[in-house]
Amino acid sequence: MPITEFDLINTFFTQQSVHRPDVALAIGDDCALTSVPHNKFLAITTDTMVENSHFYPNINPRDLGYKAIATNLSDLASMGAEPAWVSLALTLPKVNESWLQAFSQGMFKILNEYNVALIGGDTTSGAVPSITITAQGFCDKNTVLRRDQAKVGDWIYVSGTLGDGLAGFHLISDLYQSKKSAVNLDEEFLIQRNLHPIPRISLGLTLSRYQLSCCALDLSDGLVGDLGHILQHSGVSAVLNVDHLPCSRSLINLYGREQAELLALQGGEDYELCFTVPDHQKAFLERYLAPLNVPYTCIGRIVEKNPTENIIYQRQGKMVDLHISSFEHFK
């Protein structure tokens, strides 16, 4: 007897261990029913991953399940939101039980870690595998992190290391296209950074709670492109110290410092936070961020809007000329 859509949902997607009191009705009816705390904003984000655009057919479905959730939680982190629920829209050419088993394991692993409930979704047949996640969470109404709140004089910070996601993507591509057959430890690190981004939830919550920042976003399209959004929406420009860019040991080992910096500037899929901190809050940053054990680096400063260059690049305090384009769909 062929497995039906409903059997499939029941088998793989109702086995979660997260049970939240704010979910009155989860999977199984036409809608999920939830409650939102009275004094909070509901933060809502949606992201799609499509085979051959965002991942290769040979990806481990466990990694795919993890990453599809992680990238959406990263959007919640960047608003200073506490994640609560996700919906899953999954399109597959056919039912493959071992694939679904691994995919759901990867998904529930990260959902459990962040106490997020899967509340519903849709499974459909279609020629190209595709995953759309809608993630929701709660923000304090007065301390939201937005991309349009950067002010002249703010310091620009990023979490973690940059460029790993793009370098990892190149390595995954080379392996998939058989341009490469084995990886060393540095390469494996970069691949893992691409497949397992860490949503910076605690960082976003801390920046918001202590009002250390009111301006952040997550680096999905690369620093230059995403910082560009902050600058455009806030009506300001930036000075970036490229020699301050945090690059992983593995990235530098493989590419050298200068090429690593370019990957850090252009690279997509880092899923680190970029945030700005007013000068008078800079001293409090270390105190409040220390317990989180999340690396962070000051990489520049917000300046008055520059009519010709949105971002002014410096190395050791001297202007350098760099031409960097950001990652784009539909390019």
Nearer to a second copy, 2 or 317 (CB): 2
Residues 65-94 that bind a second copy (CB under 8 A): 75-76, 78-79, 81, 85, 87-89, 91-92, 94
Task: State how far the Cα of 58 lies from the Cα of 217, in Å rounded to an integer.
Answer: 30
What 8-state DSSP symbol labels residue 292? G
| Residue 119 interacts with a second copy (CB under 8 A): yes or no | yes
CA dihedral 146, 148, 153, 157 (to 10 degrees): 40
Residue 170 binds a second copy, judged by CB under 8 A: no
* 34 versus 250: smaller Cβ distance to a second copy: 34
Binding-residue pattern over the window 178 to 217 for a second copy, x denoting contact by CB under 8 A: ---------------------------------------x
**Sequence-separated (6 or more) residues with CB below 8 Å from residue 256:** none
- What is the total count of residues that contact a second copy (CB under 8 A)? 72
Six token digits for residue 79: 């608003």
Is residue 173 involved in binding a second copy (CB under 8 A)? no
Q: Which of 107, 139, 150, 201 binds a second copy (CB under 8 A)?
A: 139
Among 3, 152, 319, 320, binds a second copy (CB under 8 A): 3
Q: Can you tell me whether residue 117 is helix, strand or coil?
A: strand
**Binding positions for a second copy, 28-57, rule CB under 8 A:** 28-36, 38, 41-54
Q: Could you say whether residue 136 binds a second copy (CB under 8 A)? A: yes
HEC letters along 131-149? EEEEEEEEEECCCCCCCCC
Identity at 127, one-letter amino acid code: A
Q: Which DSSP symbol is given to 21?
A: T
Cβ atoms < 10 Å from Cβ of 7: 12
Continuous H helices in 58-96: 61-78
Does residue 24 bind a second copy (CB under 8 A)?
Answer: yes
Task: Choose between 50 and 262: whose C-beta lies nearer to a second copy.
Answer: 50
Taking CB under 8 A as the binding criterion, the range among 101-109, 141-149, 257-265, 310-318 that sits at the site for a second copy is 141-149
> In whole angstroms, what is the distance from residue 150 CA to residue 301 CA?
10
Nearer to a second copy, 122 or 279 (CB): 122
